A = this chain, B = another copy of it.
Amino acid sequence: MEVDDLILVSVDDHVVEPPDVFAHRLPARWRDRAPRVVRKPDGTDVWVWEGQQIPNIGLNAVAGRPPEEYGMEPTSFDQLRPGCYDVDARVRDMNANGVLASLCFPSFPGFCGNLFLRNADRELTLVMLRAYNDWHVDAWCGAHPGRFIPLAIPPAWDPQAMADEVRRMARKGCHAVSFSENPEKLGLPSLHSPHWDPFWAACCDEGTIVCLHIGSGQGMAFTSMDAPVNVMITVQPIAIVPCAADLVWSRVLREFHSIRFALSEGGIGWVPYFLERADYVYRHHAAWTRPDLGGRLPSEIFRQHIVTCFISDDVGVRLRHEIGIESITWECDYPHSDTTWPNAPEILARSLTGVPDEDIRRITHENAMRHFRFDPFAHRPRHACTVGALRREATEVDLSLRSHGGKPPTQRASGPVTTREVTEQLMSAFRSPVG
């Protein structure tokens, strides 16, 4: 298949929320209590809510900046490419990259709405969380029908409220919900607890897939503070493996027959090893560990319930049949630092060398459409959905890199940037006064 003929649906990108998320969606009595964007005296923009401030981290929105400037420094909206926060600019950037559709994880609320979890006023948090979800579906995704896969965040402090929100969002056409890859790290019961059963049941009823983004529970995968930061960047995706193990051995996938989980940004090349290992453990240890998998092997359970995705993963594509050709999807990770934008089609095509068209279609869009219950072709004729067609619409998009200066993570003249330095760069955001 030619690069121009690919149809690309990305199941992991990120929205940097614009300041007006809560502007038009709250009853009068709640308006003053909504999260708001504040320009700090140091020139950066932060979200402020209930005594917390949440900076925009550079590394989470670097698309369009020179790689030399990447880092964890706090930023202002002026320093971001508009495609990070402006939905019309985002669609133009998607067109320039040949990407038909995109699922966008939250930024300031955390991957699964963690911000709202940290506030004990449950009436307030539910109002804000629902307003956020409404904004996401109606304003962000709704501005360009057929271009965004909607994703809800759940009120994770109350499984019944989660179930209600899953059902409410399904009625709005949203069949994906974000959750944590290890909720125990957020102070909640583990994935194995019956605590979550109302949530799983609602997801099954509504055909809603549960998206577990890397870092959504255990945070960043640090080995030590003086390690080069590349250690963390290398390990972060595969750090989803313990979650994959939690899932395949869990009662949840046995008792909730139709439930599906997406390992968002987890990569795929490690999966064949993992499945072989899990099956070995089953055969070798079942006599004393008493797994209750309903007669199936962990690898069978994985292939039936777990949706994987990758940015660039040659070995994973080669091993696609061991992984499960029905469950591999693709992602672009715009505007995070691992993104392949604006060269995603060319980079992906290299991984797809020698792959039959039928498998390419599954990986690039068909699997995503089925698992996320999303049909872009209802909004746009198929011939207008290809990389070539979308790029032809994007003649006005400036792809040149734009420098915004900013402070580098280290003052040292040479040597690898360390975990301590980028952490310090991040923490500095919290020390500068809000106003």
Q: Kindly identify which residue among B191, B223, B228, B285 contacts A67, using a CB–CB cutoff of 8 Å.
A: B285
A64, chain B: closest CB distance, angstroms: 14
Q: Is A384 in the interface zone, CB < 8 Å from B?
A: no
Contact in complex: B273, A193 (CB < 8 Å): no
Contact in complex: A249, B234 (CB < 8 Å): yes
In the assembly, what is the distance between CA of A298 and CA of B230, in Å? 11
Q: Is A386 in the interface zone, CB < 8 Å from B?
A: no
In the assembly, what is the distance between CA of A230 and CA of B285, in Å? 8
What string of 1s and 0s marks CB contacts (under 8 Å) between A224-238 and chain B? 111111110111011
In the assembled complex, which residues on chain B have CB atoms less than 8 Å from the CB atom of A221? 242
Contact in complex: B282, A230 (CB < 8 Å): yes
> With A230-B282, A231-B246, A285-B230 given, is the CB distance from A290 to B414 under 8 Å?
yes
Contact in complex: B287, A67 (CB < 8 Å): yes
Contact in complex: A285, B228 (CB < 8 Å): no
Q: Kindly identify which residue among B66, B68, B234 contacts A277, using a CB–CB cutoff of 8 Å.
A: B234
Q: Is A164 in the interface zone, CB < 8 Å from B?
A: no
In the assembly, what is the distance between CA of A251 and CA of B227, in Å? 10
Contact in complex: B223, A242 (CB < 8 Å): yes
The stretch of A32-40, A108-116, A312-320 in contact with B is A312-320
What string of 1s and 0s marks CB contacts (under 8 Å) between A76-119 and chain B? 00000000000000000000000000000000000000000000
> With A66-B287, A289-B229, A289-B416 given, is the CB distance from A245 to B223 under 8 Å?
yes
Q: Which of A401-428 contact B (CB under 8 A)?
A: 408-409, 414-417
Contact in complex: B241, A227 (CB < 8 Å): no
- Pairs across A and B, CB under 8 Å, 15 listed: A68-B287, A191-B224, A192-B227, A223-B243, A228-B289, A231-B245, A233-B281, A234-B248, A235-B241, A235-B245, A238-B238, A249-B416, A269-B277, A273-B313, A291-B416
